[in-house]
């Protein structure tokens, strides 16, 4: 599939998996809109890398949970590049705490960013993505691992999966696919935060491949779903090295 005129918005596209996805889609010929929440330096660094390699990209600040902010994000993409073909929801937060100790304000923040944020971005995507396009959300294999300490995060991602599967069916006749990628442990700043060496070694040993995954490997899945994978729709793709 030619991507010479295709345009991608990556929510949370300035760091971790989102940044790698932004760079990969740009390398595939997409015009890329890198969304960031507050860290303009990271966004500018991502854009600099893309443009240095011959890509076409802009950075746009937006709070993914705010409908007006997200509408403005899509407006910017359409104004700059003429439309939107692919939307990737990579924005998210992952505080870790036993359920019994979790501050409910933290729960509200997780649900606002991860669940409401996906809903708000998907709402605009459903209205604007052109025929032949793709909406790609992010869940997590933690919903299958049932690892202690991740109740809030897993709850938010379970909701993301429900939104994805229903939206795929609601877009019947539009020629727009809607899927969710559910990574296992991936070598990002978000994943390493708060984990000691023993915990990291134990988690790396869980998959049959016996290692932590890389952002590049998840970006490979996103690129596949964004373009050639037209017969994959309404699915949860677990990318965790076979850990479960």
Domain ranges of the chain: 7-186+218-235
Rounded to whole angstroms, the Cα distance separating 126 from 138 reads 16
Mean pLDDT for each consecutive 10-residue tract of the chain (244 residues)? Answer: 75 95 97 96 97 97 98 98 97 94 97 98 98 97 89 96 98 98 88 82 88 94 96 96 85
- Cα angle 47-118-214, degrees, rounded to a multiple of 5: 55
**Whole-number pLDDT of residue 229:** 95
Rounded to whole angstroms, the Cα distance separating 78 from 233 reads 25
Catalytically active residues, by annotation: 153
**Whole-number pLDDT of residue 193:** 77
**Whole-number pLDDT of residue 1:** 42
**Whole-number pLDDT of residue 4:** 54
**Whole-number pLDDT of residue 97:** 94
Task: Residues 7-186+218-235: name the CATH superfamily.
Answer: NAD(P)-binding Rossmann-like Domain (3.40.50.720)
Angle, helices 117-128 vs 67-81, to 10°: value is 40
Q: What's the pTM? A: 0.94
Please, which residues bridge with residue 179 across strands? 136
**Whole-number pLDDT of residue 3:** 45
Contacts for 35 with CB less than 8 Å, ≥ 6 apart: 9, 10, 11, 12, 13, 14, 59, 60, 61, 62, 64, 73, 91
Q: What sign for the dihedral angle of Cα 153, 155, 159, 165?
A: positive
């Amino acid at each position: 599939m030619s991507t010479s005129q295709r345009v991608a918005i990556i929510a949370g596209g300035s760091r971790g998996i989102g940044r790698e996805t932004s760079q990969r889609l740009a390398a595939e010929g997409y015009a890329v809109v890198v969304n960031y929440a507050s860290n303009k330096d990271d966004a500018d660094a991502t854009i600099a890398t893309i443009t240095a390699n011959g890509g076409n990209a802009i950075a746009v600040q937006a709070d993914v949970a705010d409908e007006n902010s997200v509408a403005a994000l899509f407006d910017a993409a359409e104004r700059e590049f003429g439309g939107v073909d692919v939307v990737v929801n990579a924005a998210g937060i992952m505080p870790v705490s036993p359920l019994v100790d979790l501050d409910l304000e933290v729960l509200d923040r997780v649900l606002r960013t991860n669940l409401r944020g996906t809903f708000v971005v998907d709402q605009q995507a459903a209205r604007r993505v052109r025929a032949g396009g793709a909406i790609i959300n992010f869940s997590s294999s933690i919903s299958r691992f049932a690892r202690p300490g991740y109740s809030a995060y897993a709850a938010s991602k379970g909701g993301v999966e429900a939104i994805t599967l229903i939206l795929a069916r609601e877009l019947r006749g539009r020629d727009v696919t809607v899927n969710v990628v559910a990574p296992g442990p991936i070598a990002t700043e978000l994943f390493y935060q708060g984990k000691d060496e023993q915990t990291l070694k134990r988690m790396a040993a869980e998959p049959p491949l016996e290692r932590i995954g890389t952002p590049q490997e998840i970006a490979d899945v996103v690129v596949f779903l964004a373009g050639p994978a037209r017969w994959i729709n309404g699915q949860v793709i677990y990318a965790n090295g076979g850990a479960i």
